[in-house]
Amino acid sequence: MIASQLISELISPLRTSDTGEEAITMMNVYHVRHLPIVNAESFLGIVSEDDVLNHDMSEPIGSYKLSALKPHVFESDHFFDVMRKIAAFNLTVIPVIDKEENFVGIITLEDLMKFYASSFSFNEMGGIIVLKVHRSNYSLAEIARIVEENNAIIISSFISNDEHSANLLISLKLNTNQLSAIKASFERFEYDIHASYTETEEFDMLKDRYDALMKYLSV
């Protein structure tokens, strides 16, 4: 998935002639805190809710002093690049431009998160194992082999840094809730299992709470 495929068809950019009041109204309508400013087809920058509130709201936003930074993505940028930039600049929208730096459209954080949630097997049933692995020992091929030897497959995986060490946290979404044998195999190969989760465990916990409530009400 690339940036051009994530553009919202509902949100329009601001023009330099729009006033601060109009900008705030549009932000409220779209439920965002940022909007790009466009002059004809040229992308000029992004105005935030705070920018507007710190200026005369009756003045056109073209007269506002904006940050020299102009965060954006190109049409062909990968979904991961879009995620990285929208997070790095703490934005609720990010503009998409072409190679000539002309404005193409807007990607919203909300639409981005909806796509993220509907992708990468989040809706698939299965368990999750989180491994803590030193960077020098990381091998996805070996991890996959251990999982597959237990008649399971990895349907998605994510890597994050452990802030307090040189370790990586490897989150594995598997196609099964039966994790005991897989966890035992990882432990046999001296992997550190940081955490594990299953839908079954969550169901059992809710059932135990329900049974306890019923007992209490019957007393």
User: What CATH number has the domain bearing residue 113?
Assistant: 3.10.580.10
Domain carrying residue 68:
3-117
User: For the chain, which ranges sit under pLDDT 70?
Assistant: 68, 119-123, 199-219
User: What's the pLDDT score for residue 80?
Assistant: 87
Contact between residue 103 and residue 97 where contact means Cβ atoms under 8 Å apart = yes
Q: How is residue 164 written in tokens?
A: 């307090």
Residue 142 CA neighbour count, 13 Å, CB half? 11
Q: Do 38 and 96 lie in a common domain?
A: yes
Q: Do 110 and 36 lie in a common domain?
A: yes
Q: Do 134 and 185 lie in a common domain?
A: yes
Q: Do 56 and 97 lie in a common domain?
A: yes
Query: Could you give the dihedral angle defined by the CA atoms of residues 108, 89, 75 and 111, in that order, rounded to the nearest 10 degrees?
Result: -20
In a domain, 89, yes or no: yes
Closest listed residue to residue 69, CA positions, set 93, 44, 96: 44
In a domain, 151, yes or no: yes
Q: Tell me the pTM.
A: 0.68
User: What's the pLDDT score for residue 219?
Assistant: 44
Contact between residue 149 and residue 181 where contact means Cβ atoms under 8 Å apart = no
In a domain, 213, yes or no: no
Closest listed residue to residue 18, CA positions, set 37, 34, 45, 41: 37
Q: Do 111 and 183 lie in a common domain?
A: no
Domain boundary among 84, 117, 150: 117
Q: How is residue 55 written in tokens?
A: 């200026």
How many folded domains does the chain comprise? 2
In a domain, 214, yes or no: no
Q: Do 134 and 180 lie in a common domain?
A: yes
User: What's the pLDDT score for residue 139?
Assistant: 94
Q: Do 104 and 173 lie in a common domain?
A: no
The CATH number of whichever domain residue 198 belongs to comes to 3.30.2130.10
pLDDT digits (tens, 9 = 90+) for 147-205: 999 999 998 888 888 777 889 999 999 999 999 999 999 999 999 999 998 865 554 55
In a domain, 218, yes or no: no
Residue 201, helix vs strand vs coil: helix
Give the C-alpha separation, 71 to 130, whole Å. 33
In a domain, 215, yes or no: no
Q: Do 134 and 113 lie in a common domain?
A: no
Query: In which residue are the tokens 């299953």 written?
Result: 198
At a CB cut-off of 8 Å and minimum separation 6, what does 199 contact?
A: 125, 126, 127, 177
In a domain, 178, yes or no: yes
In a domain, 210, yes or no: no
Q: Beta partners for 6?
A: none
